[in-house]
Amino acid sequence: MIEEVIIEKRLVLSNLRCLFDRDTGTLAFADLHLGYEEAARQDGVYFPIVQKREMMMDLVRVLERYNPRTVVIDGDLKHTFGRNLRQEWDEVGDVIKALQERTGDVRLVRGNHDNFIAGILPKGTRLPFELMVDGLRFVHGHKALKKKRAKDEVLVLAHEHPSITLKDKVGAVIRLPCFLWHPEDSILILPAFSTLTKGNDVLRSGFMSPVLKDHEPGEFMAFAVSEIGILEFGRLGDLVPPPKPDID
């Protein structure tokens, strides 16, 4: 099993759906969407409230493997846009507490779902739209960049929930979350850490982020996360079949 792929000589793309900078000890993940089940129930969709329990087990595996000095959550820690649900009040606090007990340096980036999260977070918690950590520029991706990028920085985005859809000869279909990497422009898009949020097949739907308005999904390399490890697919554009020629 391939558990990790290294880019830029120091950045680890992990099969645990997180990014780790092995030079600085910075760990990053995004799109936890805590409170998803209660929000779904309010829309008439009922299923067990299990995400936090499973996510806490995933976080333990991540922390034990990488033992980070700094943890960055790159947006959408909670799910509901318009208010704080009871489930969000409980779960956001539990996750932040667990991370702070393991590492004292937990940093957050504000996502588009985090409108009212400040009331849940510990007093004095910063919630910027952009965060620079050791040459990594973290933005969630739902807003345009505030300033021009430096040449040597790596831009780390979330928001897209990127995935790749695979289909076999008999028609079975599986959708896998993936990292997307643009080596020429040093742009990395993280998969959603939540296993409940539906992945966005960017080859079919394109990008949502204004940060990516000058880029096409086909320019990015895909590293899919699966039960058998990281699967490297190369450039997404190479996976798209060429158009059929016109026949007169």
pLDDT tens by residue, 15-24: 999 999 999 9
Per-residue pLDDT tens for 205-238? 999 999 999 999 999 999 999 999 999 999 999 9
Return the pLDDT at 241. 53
**Tokens in use for 62?**
């991540």
Taking the CA atoms of 70, 132, 220 and 29 in sequence, report the sign of the dihedral they define: positive
Q: State yes or no: pLDDT of 174 exceeds 90.
A: no
Supply the pLDDT for residue 34. Answer: 87
- 120 contacts 78 by C-beta, under 8 angstroms: yes
Residue % of the chain over a pLDDT of 70: 94
pLDDT score for 170: 83
Euclidean distance between the first and the last CA atom of the chain, given in angstroms as a whole number: 49
- Least confident range of 32-46, 57-71, 153-167: 32-46
∠74-16-26 over CA atoms, to 5°? 50
pLDDT at 197: 79
Indicate the average pLDDT of the chain: 90
> Domains of the chain, with CATH numbers?
4-239 (3.60.21)
Using 50, 70 and 90 to split pLDDT, how confident is the model at 166?
A: confident
Higher pLDDT, 115 or 232: 232
Is residue 205 classed as helix, strand or coil in its secondary structure? helix
Say if residue 69's pLDDT is above 90. Answer: yes
Task: Give the residue-averaged pLDDT of 155-183.
Answer: 92
Q: What SS3 class is residue 73?
A: strand
Please tell me the pTM assigned to this model: 0.91
Give the pLDDT confidence score for residue 247 in this predicted structure. Answer: 56
